[in-house]
Structure 1
Amino acid sequence: MKFSSWYCFLLLLVIQTDFGQNEETSRKERRKMYYRRQRKSSSPIHRSSRQLGIQQMRIVTPAATLPMVNLDYSTEEKFESFLRFPGVEASYNVLPGKKGHCLANGMIMYNKAVWSPEPCTTCLCSNGRVLCDETKCHPQMCPQTVTPEGECCPVCSDTEQREPTSLLHKQQPSPWVEMHQALRKEELQFEEEEEIKQDEDREQKEKIPRPGDWGRPPNERQSREGGEQRPGEKGRQAHQHRNPARENENEDEDEDEDEDDDDAVRGDMFRMPSQLPIPATPRGIPPLPSRCSLSYKTISCISADLTQIPPLTAPEITSLELIGNSITSIPDEAFNGLPNLERLDLSRNNITSSGIGPKAFKLLKKLMRLNMDGNNLVAIPSELPSTLEELKINENNLQVIDEESLSDLNQLATLELEGNSLSETNVNSLAFKPLKSLSYLRLGRNKFRIIPQGLPASIEELYLENNQIEEITEISFNHTRKINVIVLRYNKIEENRIASLAWINQENLESIDLSYNKLYHVPSYLPKSLLHLVLIGNQIERIPGFVFGHMEPGLEYLYLSFNKLVDDGIDQVSFYGAYHSLRELFLDHNELKSIPPGVPEMKALHFLRLNNNKIRNILPEQICNSEEDGDSTLEHLHLENNYIKTREISPYAFSCIRSYSSVVLKPQNIK
């Protein structure tokens, strides 16, 4: 029995020893494999692959995205936080309308419109909100950089070697010069290869024994051949001893070049991504002027001191910017080399009507946007392309628009002719008849005394500010059933000169701006569809009763700032018809001595301005109705610059307002 016990014990001991050795052996093997992997990973190939992996991971980070990729999301966040900020001011100039348009520097922009208010800023109109983004510049890999005039991104100075930058930015070294250099280098390389091939062919021929060599021994012929070095032999030997990897790379590049037709230019000096087209066939084309730049399909020569349109042959270019130069004329052949232009900006030059050739724009069969603001034109250029959708000739000296001036422009949607010398005497009543698609018309800062006649039926927005209009007749808007916005500020209109049937039956008219006219009370017979009424800077003393009673769905924005309203001019029925709809009411800078009646009944009111009046006290029920338990919708209440003694205000005066920070009471005037 003892023997069997000892035997079992020894057997267990042996098994345990073997298992420990095996486990230690496996540990050693695993450790060896680990160190082998470490040594492999430390090799240059593995290090580079790891670095490549890191770089690939970095590419998907948000920092690598282009600007304005996520405009709607980022700016919507800012917009929501802006609404939550206490004391935010509403804009007098907001014209919401039904189209989601935006107001930018006094100009209405269409929904989804994109513009650049400054050289380094791009803005987007998104459903009534202006979203702006600043241009992001790529870092320059050079010791010295300069920022050209009129540009926002720095570029390498001319004394340093420039690194190729992204074509999505305008600030680049001139690609035309580099293309010529690349082509020249390619031609030299091609000539060298051709010479080498010719030498090889000549050598093959020379290897055939000459008639005088047939009797000589072979070694003598070899010594003769080896002793004489033919022209090009050195280059041929260098060619034969090239790096095989480099030759394979060149072969791959040649195959890629055959497969991809977009890469028309090859070379070490200048390479374009295959997805971006080459702007032009560069052979024989003069380079761009020194202060011009190329960005994708756009050539920009902004403030480049040009005196004439540069000769360009670039069929792929779709946009040309020649802003702020000293160009005086446009010859007939000016754009012959740019047949695919879609956008042409010639603003802020010295172009005259006599300097424009009769066929200057005729060959631009795809042109959609033409800007000639700030020139010296006295007439609209002739034979404009029928493809035009936007034409801007603001700040010129236009003195006539006849029946043929706008002929064949049946696709034109936007026409801006502000800051000229136009009036009903020099604008033909049939001038706008060909414009079947026109929806946006700006005629501000001219000399009109009446509403222009013959407006197209398609018109939706009309801007006639800063004219001399005195009257609105019954036929002024007879045929404009789609009109949505009318701006008539800074004219000479009186309420008794507005015909009772001038616009009351308009079904789409939502916004009217009659600021800075000669109105003494709020006009009657306003359009039934009106949502937005701006009457700032008149001499209005009274809001007649039931003046808003016929409106459906109801007035939402009423701006009466800077008038002469007094307590007797507003009564309980003055806002009848708007109690359920009014969202913003501006009565600041008037002569009111108390809170107007009807404020507690305004169930949708968000913004109330009563600052800069003569109000002395606030009674408990003038803003909050004690009979109702619900909170007020008021988010902003301005009562500053009155004569209110804040310590005497009843604690229940603002009890219905959810946030006391929404009430602005300071400063107050002292008697």
Structure 2
Amino acid sequence: MIVPRTSNKIANILPEHLKPFQSLETLDLSNNNISELKMSSFPSLQLKYLYINSNRITSMEPGTFDNLSTTLQVLKLNRNRISAIPQKMFKLSHLQHLELNRNKIRKIDGLTFQGLPALKSLKLQRNGITRLMDGAFWGLTNMEVLQLDHNNLTEVTKGWLYGLLMLQQLHLSQNAISRISPDAWEFCQKLSELDLTFNHLARLDDSSFVGLSVLVGLYIGSNKVNYIADCAFRGLSSLQTLDLKNNEISWTIEDMNGAFSGLDELRKL
């Protein structure tokens, strides 16, 4: 059963209005005037898919979604005015996909997403995020896709990647990243695709990509790279695509002593 309530002028979610729909699986409340999510908003339902995109949400109470914890699989809160995510906001044991694109989140604290053990993908694009604290994604041990494009992040560190043991795709395009810490990828050794296009990277050191032995696609186009260390791509034995276009690389192949050594599977450069 699907109940769309899009493009109306709904300002509040009232549990008494939803209680009769005990077989409801999909609820779309997009394009309304909802400004807050309260603990009492949702009664116990069999919801699998919940969309509250393009509203005016500024605040969310912890416990808002607790009554949906055993069934909810997809939650979309894109294009709202959310500036902070309270701790223990999402205690949804079956949720697989969470979207928070185009909000106003600037900082993500440690343990923010604790309570989402089944999550496969998290989208946080176009928020203006400047800081990811240590353990920001701790607990997301099964997450495969993390999209952080179009934010204001300045570095990649082991601290905020802590615990992402199953991560396969990391999208960091259109940020302000100028530094990758030497041990950044310690917890992300299943990564197969890494997008760092349109950032501020000026150099690729011999430690920049250590540990990414199953990486297949590495995209560093449209940065400011003018230096690539010898063996910068050492250990990327599975890499098939390396994108370095639109950088500031000025020296020629003859000047290099092995920057591309070890790329035995490379198909596209």
**Contact 2:113–2:137 (8 Å) recurs in 1:** no
Which residue type is aligned with residue 56 of structure 2? N
Give the alignment of 1:365-514 within 5 angstroms: 365-380=22-37, 382-410=41-69, 411-424=71-84, 427-433=85-91, 435-451=92-108, 453-455=112-114, 456-495=116-155, 498-503=156-161, 505-514=163-172
Following TM superposition, by how much is the alpha carbon of 1:422 offset from its aligned partner in structure 2, in angstroms? 0.7
- Quick one: percent identity of the two aligned structures? 26
Partner secondary structure for residue 107 of structure 2 = coil
Q: Hey, what does 1:170 align to over in structure 2?
A: none
Following TM superposition, by how much is the alpha carbon of 1:464 offset from its aligned partner in structure 2, in angstroms? 0.9
**Contact 1:504–1:528 (8 Å) recurs in 2:** no
2:219 to 546, 554, 559: 559
Q: Hey, what does 1:352 align to over in structure 2?
A: 10
Following TM superposition, by how much is the alpha carbon of 1:523 offset from its aligned partner in structure 2, in angstroms? 4.6
Deviations 1:352-374 (A, max 9, x none): 224x6542221111111111222
**Contact 1:521–1:544 (8 Å) recurs in 2:** no
Tell me, in whole angstroms, the C-alpha distance in 1 between the residues paired with 2:143 and 2:218.
20
Q: Hey, what does 2:197 align to over in structure 1?
A: 536
Q: CA RMSD in A?
A: 2.2
Which residue type is aligned with residue 420 of structure 1? N
| Greater RCO structure (CA 8 Å; 6+ sep) | 2
Tell me, in whole angstroms, the C-alpha distance in 1 between the residues paired with 2:108 and 2:96.
16
Q: 1:352 to 1:531 in 2, by over 3 A?
A: same
Following TM superposition, by how much is the alpha carbon of 1:432 offset from its aligned partner in structure 2, in angstroms? 0.9
**Contact 2:63–2:90 (8 Å) recurs in 1:** no
Q: 1:523 to 1:473 in 2, by over 3 A?
A: same
Partner secondary structure for residue 78 of structure 2 = coil
Aligned length: 256
Tell me, in whole angstroms, the C-alpha distance in 2 between the residues paired with 1:451 and 1:458.
20
Following TM superposition, by how much is the alpha carbon of 1:402 offset from its aligned partner in structure 2, in angstroms? 0.5
Using the size of structure 2 for normalisation, the TM-score is 0.86
Tell me, in whole angstroms, the C-alpha distance in 2 between the residues paired with 1:540 and 1:384.
48
Q: 1:501 to 1:400 in 2, by over 3 A?
A: closer
Q: Hey, what does 1:519 align to over in structure 2?
A: 177
Deviations 1:609-643 (A, max 9, x none): xxxxxxxxxxxxxxxxxxxxxxxxxxxxxxxxxxx
Q: Hey, what does 1:545 align to over in structure 2?
A: 206
Tell me, in whole angstroms, the C-alpha distance in 2 between the residues paired with 1:492 and 1:437.
31
Gaps of 5+ in 2: none
2:240 to 571, 576, 583: 583
Tell me, in whole angstroms, the C-alpha distance in 2 between the residues paired with 1:499 and 1:584.
23
Tell me, in whole angstroms, the C-alpha distance in 2 between the residues paired with 1:420 and 1:548.
35
Deviations 1:162-188 (A, max 9, x none): xxxxxxxxxxxxxxxxxxxxxxxxxxx
Gaps of 5+ in 1: 1-341, 609-671
Flag the structure with higher strand content: 2
Tell me, in whole angstroms, the C-alpha distance in 2 between the residues paired with 1:600 and 1:499.
25
**Contact 1:361–1:385 (8 Å) recurs in 2:** no
Tell me, in whole angstroms, the C-alpha distance in 1 between the residues paired with 2:9 and 2:37.
12
Q: Hey, what does 1:570 align to over in structure 2?
A: 228
**Contact 1:367–1:385 (8 Å) recurs in 2:** no
Deviations 1:592-621 (A, max 9, x none): 23357544752212222xxxxxxxxxxxxx
Deviations 1:290-320 (A, max 9, x none): xxxxxxxxxxxxxxxxxxxxxxxxxxxxxxx
CA radius of gyration, larger in: 1
Tell me, in whole angstroms, the C-alpha distance in 2 between the residues paired with 1:592 and 1:402.
50
Tell me, in whole angstroms, the C-alpha distance in 2 between the residues paired with 1:394 and 1:362.
22
Using the size of structure 1 for normalisation, the TM-score is 0.36
Partner secondary structure for residue 588 of structure 1 = coil
Following TM superposition, by how much is the alpha carbon of 1:421 offset from its aligned partner in structure 2, in angstroms? 0.8
Tell me, in whole angstroms, the C-alpha distance in 1 between the residues paired with 2:262 and 2:57.
52
Tell me, in whole angstroms, the C-alpha distance in 2 between the residues paired with 1:505 and 1:548.
18
Tell me, in whole angstroms, the C-alpha distance in 2 between the residues paired with 1:591 and 1:428.
42
Which residue type is aligned with residue 395 of structure 1? S
Which residue type is aligned with residue 26 of structure 2? R
**Contact 1:505–1:528 (8 Å) recurs in 2:** no
Deviations 1:426-449 (A, max 9, x none): x4322212x111121111111112
**Contact 2:113–2:138 (8 Å) recurs in 1:** no
Which residue type is aligned with residue 441 of structure 1? L
